[in-house]
Amino acid sequence: MKIGMQLAYAGGFRDTVAQLQEFEAAGLGIVLLPEAYSFDAVSQLGFIAARTSRVELCTSILNIYSRTPALLAMTAAGLDYVSEGRFVLGVGASGPQVVEGFHGLPYQAPLARTREVVEICRQVWRREKVDFHGRFFDVPLTPERGGSGLGKPLKLINHPVRDRIPMQLAALGPKNVELAAELFEGWEPIFFFPERAEEAFGEALAAGAAKRAPELGPLDIMADIKVLISEDAEELAAADALMRDQLALYIGGMGARGKNFYNDLAVRFGFPEEAARVQDLYLAGEKAQAAAALPAELVQGVSLVGSREHVAQRLAAFAKAGVTTVNAVLLASSHEGRVRDVATLAELAAELG
């Protein structure tokens, strides 16, 4: 099992990067940088590549709407070059809040669009002349779809470090999870409850795996997990409050009724009544009550928060459920505590074999 760490996309970035060598020494295997409506992740990962030597770098995530597939491929090849083959291209559909609200683009057909993005990216990395005519992308642009007819198929000028850069899909819905298992090297679920994973994701993962090309290898399941290894009651209480606030935001407020992916996931995890109540409270403006209404079983089930012994047991449960990479969202209040937690996670992962 690999240990990863998610960097914050707002505030403190330079300080965190300056300390990354300590995290590398502690056993950090991959660092992930989100991109929402923040500074772009690409320039910041280039900055990180210049200051690290071993740790892998991953976008978590670049949305599939605001960059063309060719630009995504060029960007990935450039980051793979400056990092000497340490880059993973994490993509995802994001949601209408970002795609329509910030980029001003229609949020349409994420599944079919993602398929076309993958195919074009891999053509670019193989240095093939890009010649693709799909539902969403027409390369070169043909006169029938508004082109001048002067565009000709082109291939990437540079020779990429690798002809297939690993791709990772952030996905929660059954069809998107199936797509990840079929076409991607990795899958990133934002909330993963190991004891309920089979009910929530098993059918979709199996369907995708049945169509998976052998050359992709086993699917890397990189779960986003809140981490705090401590026996301090006050520190643990603060972590619980923070996790509840975030879960309430996602389950209660990220989308309208019937259009909230995270609420749907809580239902698939076996908490339909609780998910409905959290959403009702959150949408009514009762955010504190929504957080308090979350069942402790769910809050604790998707996290690694507690004593070393408790975290060791929970980490084993994640591994048993198929998680191969922990994308740790570190909750310790100090830099020393965060480094210590990464080192402990790496030790516990090594003990699992």
Strands (E), 21-84: 30-33, 56-59, 62-63
> Which of 11, 9, 15 lies closest to 34 in space, CA to CA?
9
Same domain flag for 281 and 326: no
**pLDDT value at position 15?**
80
Q: What is the pLDDT of residue 9?
A: 64
Selected residue with higher pLDDT from 12 and 118: 118
Residue 93 has phi, psi (to 5 degrees) of: -80, -15
Question: In terms of domains, do 248 and 300 share one?
Answer: yes
pLDDT digits (tens, 9 = 90+) for 214-242: 999 999 999 999 999 999 999 999 999 99
Higher pLDDT, 83 or 6: 83
pLDDT of residue 97: 83
Q: Verify that 105 and 244 share a domain, yes or no.
A: no
pLDDT of residue 18: 85
Residue with tokens 């995708």: 208
Neighbours of 336 (CB within 10 A): 11
The confidence score (pLDDT) of residue 340 equals 97
Instruction: Please check whether residues 218 and 235 belong to one and the same domain.
Output: no
In this structure, what token pair is assigned to residue 209?
């795996």
Q: Span 283-296, mean pLDDT? A: 98
Q: Provide the pairing of β-strand 138-139 with 132-133.
A: antiparallel
Q: Are residues 140 and 185 in the same domain?
A: yes
Average pLDDT over residues 66-87: 98
3-state helix, strand, coil in the chain (%, to 5): 50, 15, 35
Q: Are residues 237 and 339 in the same domain?
A: no
240-276 as b/e: b if 16+ CB within 10 A: bebbbebbbbbbbbbbeeeebbbbbbbbbbbbeebbb
211 with 87, same domain? yes
Query: Taking 90 as the threshold, does the pLDDT of residue 344 lie above it?
Result: yes
Look at residue 11 and tell me whether its pLDDT is greater than 80: no
Per the CB < 8 A criterion, the answer to whether 42 and 24 are in contact is no
Q: How many domains does the chain have?
A: 2
What's residue 283's pLDDT? 97
Range of the domain at 98: 2-226+307-352
Among the candidates 305, 324, 342, a domain finishes at 305
The DSSP bridge pattern shows strands 167-170 and 87-92 to be parallel
Q: Do 137 and 282 fall into the same domain?
A: no
In a shared domain, residues 204 and 85:
yes
For residue range 16-65, what is the model confidence (pLDDT) as tens digits? 888 898 999 999 999 999 898 989 999 999 999 998 999 999 999 999 99
Strand partners, 139: 132
Q: Which of 283, 260, 285 is nearest to 190 (CA)?
A: 260
Residues contacting 9, CB < 8 A, separation 6+: 33, 34, 35, 36, 38, 39, 41
pLDDT at 288 over 80: yes
Q: What is the pTM of this model?
A: 0.94
> If we measure between CA atoms, which residue out of 21, 23, 18 comes closest to residue 4?
23
User: How does pLDDT run across 88-127, given as a tens digit for each residue?
Assistant: 999 999 988 899 999 999 999 999 999 999 999 999 999 9
pLDDT of residue 13 exceeding 80, the answer is: no
Q: Is residue 251 located within the same domain as residue 281?
A: yes
Q: Are residues 275 and 312 in the same domain?
A: no
pLDDT grade for 353, boundaries at 50, 70 and 90: confident
pLDDT at 14 exceeding the cut of 90? no
State the CATH number of the domain containing residue 126.
Answer: 3.20.20.30
Q: Are residues 209 and 261 in the same domain?
A: no
